[in-house]
A and B are shown apart, each in its own frame.
Chain A
């Protein structure tokens, strides 16, 4: 009985949250002398979520995100993800760090999908660094596949992220 109750409560831990938005992560990573010097991210949102966002982002309905619209997205949408550490936990010696301030943020519409571009210049050592992608609220599913990664100077390793109540991916660089 107790086991059953514990099971039910643990399954319902995130009762109203299960992925409704899917974000594909395409990182381009530059490693020099075992130091991660630069990561350019492209996040590609699923088409359904994109269709909703385009209604709001593309204010003048010209099918593009211009500078002013980009600023709106950055301030009202992207920056709010800081509270979620940009769905990316950087672990150094297995301790979670704050995600570095993203630079050169750009939104675009590609094949009816919203794409976010941004980059970080972290200077992390590949030996003790891991990246965990996932939304602890599980409203967003982050999708990372090995073929999404472009890397120079090292090789990536993608594995399933073993968290109790949401699903994510771990990236290590060897």
Chain B
């Protein structure tokens, strides 16, 4: 675990530095340096998103499980990564602006409660997606027919939705910080930039997973439904795990 520990340390240190850099740059915004500083903040937010999503979470496991069991190309993995990050950013913006204007005080407490509710909701959705995929692979095994495109798109969308619905607290923090300093537009742009960064990292998880399943041996290729069922079961287990992890708080 030494190697993993070192990666984790680097990720934390980098985020610590970027976090402090972004906040001081936003605070020092003035008329003279407005454009250059704003561009810099957006660039840094992208980098921050890239690194932030490399830490645990953000639906990477879900994407990986999905692509282990479903034949797809790299384009699809990118599409999925960006779909998740789009939903992620939108939900973070909606939650932050919503909570800020509806409940100005007691922000933190409500924020915590709300994020637990959305996490539970997301966990339930993940379980449902897993069950849906299980049902689909069972049907495929029976009929030996390939999944038609409409069905495939539907399950991709549901994966992206259930992984992305939990608003990222990292994005929420930046947005809120910008709201407090009345830099509303910059807040939205930074959230989008950060999400694009995260989308990139999530896509990489999907691509790695596709690479893995391409290298899987012929036996499994012929009996692809075994992988499909395994993937679906793993997604259900992941959902159950998340549900139990978020309900004990």
Contacts and interface: CB of A to CB of B under 8 A. Distances in A.
Contacts of A15: 56-57, 61, 238, 241-242, 245
Interface residues of A, number: 36
B1 interface: yes
B180 A11 contact: no
A37 interface: no
A110 interface: no
A14 B64 CA distance: 16
Nearest to B249: A137
Interface string A1-18: 100110011011111111
Given A167-B8, A167-B9, A49 B1 contact: no
Given A20-B169, A47-B23, A13 B56 contact: yes
A53 B15 CA distance: 20
Contacts of B238: 9, 12, 15
B173 A16 contact: no
Interface string B88-127: 0000000000000000111110000001000100000000
B56 A4 contact: no
A115 B23 CA distance: 17
B191 to A, nearest CB: 13
Interface in B150-209: 166, 169-170, 173-174, 176-177, 180-181
A23 to B, nearest CB: 10
Interface centre among B9, B12, B169, B246, by most A CB within 10 Å?
A: B12
A51 B64 contact: no
A7 B95 CA distance: 32
A48 interface: yes
A167 B2 CA distance: 12
Contacts of B169: 20
A56 to B, nearest CB: 6
A19 B15 contact: yes
A75 interface: no
A154 interface: no
Nearest to B173: A48
B12 to A, nearest CB: 5
A143 interface: yes
Nearest to B116: A16
B241 to A, nearest CB: 8
Interface centre among A8, A13, A18 (most CB of B within 10 A): A18
Contacts of B12: 19, 141, 167
Contacts of A22: 15-16, 19-20
In this complex, the member of A16, A46, A49, A55 whose beta carbon has the largest number of chain B beta carbons within 10 angstroms is: A16
A147 interface: no
A68 interface: no
B5 A162 contact: yes
Contact of B107 (A11, A17, A52, A160): A52
Nearest to A11: B56
Given A11-B61, A47-B23, A53 B56 contact: no
A162 B230 CA distance: 33
A20 B24 CA distance: 16
A49 B172 CA distance: 11
Nearest to B22: A48
A49 B234 contact: no
B27 interface: yes
Contact of A52 (B11, B55, B173, B216): B173
Contacts of A8: 61, 64-65
Contact of B57 (A17, A52, A53, A162): A17
Contacts of A46: 16, 19-20, 23
A165 interface: yes
Contacts of A62: none
11 contacts: A5-B234, A14-B57, A15-B56, A18-B170, A47-B20, A51-B23, A52-B177, A56-B106, A56-B108, A141-B12, A167-B12
